[in-house]
């Protein structure tokens, strides 16, 4: 018998939208401006806050300088959304979910998240937990715990869906059932999830009177 889950909390980038072309352009321009070269590999930093990325790359900077650089990148990402697209199945999935039973937990900030959703033609949910709302980013569970609280459900009754290893860890440590979706990480990197799916298009969501059931390849979750 399928388990009825109270709510779904999605990651955004790499889970619902492909925003990496625009994001990489912004980071490439920043990297060139600070002498790190004109091609910057963002992949090792997926899911991390901008300030943490910059601190890792330029550890000699003061906190104020780090914040200034992070704001430069944020402003660039906020306006550069021309190539952001919804990932296959995302629009159909979100259109079929009750709005009071789903939200987004992202390591980005709220303005950028909203801009990317709109550019991709996806609905902006009432609940977006972003870097603006948490002290501890992924892999800490704070974001997923806060998302469940804002939706009004016990985290243990919710499902977290994320494409990154740190996001999977965050949702799992929040006590949620965790679905990893493949985007830019190998299955071996996502093994901490309860199950791995080939994108949200591969997950069947069915709304029930008291929640949502999920199935992957015909197998109930």
Question: Which residue numbers are catalytic?
Answer: 11, 13
Label residue 40 left, alpha or beta by phi (over 0 means left) and psi (-120 to 50 means alpha).
Answer: beta
Beta carbons within 10 angstroms of residue 10's beta carbon: 26
Question: Residues near 57 by Cβ (< 8 Å), separated by ≥ 6?
Answer: 36
Question: Residues near 218 by Cβ (< 8 Å), separated by ≥ 6?
Answer: none
Phi, psi torsion values for 86, nearest 5 degrees: -70, 140
Give the C-alpha separation, 198 to 55, whole Å. 33
Give the C-alpha separation, 131 to 84, whole Å. 20
How far is residue 166 CA from its own chain's centroid? 10
Question: Residues near 204 by Cβ (< 8 Å), separated by ≥ 6?
Answer: 214, 215, 216
Q: Which residues pair with 163 in a beta bridge?
A: none
């Amino acid at each position: 018998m399928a388990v009825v889950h109270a709510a779904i909390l999605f990651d955004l980038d790499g889970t619902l939208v492909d925003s990496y072309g625009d994001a990489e352009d912004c980071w490439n321009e920043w990297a060139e401006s600070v002498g790190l070269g004109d091609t910057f590999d963002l992949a090792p930093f997926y899911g991390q806050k901008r300030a943490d990325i910059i601190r890792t790359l330029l550890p000699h900077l003061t906190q104020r300088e780090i914040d200034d650089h992070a704001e430069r990148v944020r402003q660039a990402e906020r306006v550069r959304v021309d190539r952001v697209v919804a990932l296959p199945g995302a629009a159909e999935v979100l259109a079929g979910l009750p709005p009071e039973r789903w939200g987004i937990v992202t390591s980005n900030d709220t303005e950028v998240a909203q801009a990317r959703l709109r550019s991709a033609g996806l609905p902006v949910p009432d609940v977006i937990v972003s870097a603006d709302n948490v002290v501890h980013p992924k892999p800490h569970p704070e974001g997923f715990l806060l998302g469940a609280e804002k939706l009004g459900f016990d985290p243990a009754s919710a499902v977290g869906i994320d494409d990154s290893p740190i996001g999977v860890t965050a949702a799992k440590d929040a006590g949620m059932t965790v679905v990893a979706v493949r985007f830019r990480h190998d299955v071996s990197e996502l093994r901490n999830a309860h199950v791995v799916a080939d994108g949200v298009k591969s997950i069947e969501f069915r709304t029930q009177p008291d929640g949502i059931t999920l199935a992957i390849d015909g197998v109930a979750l």
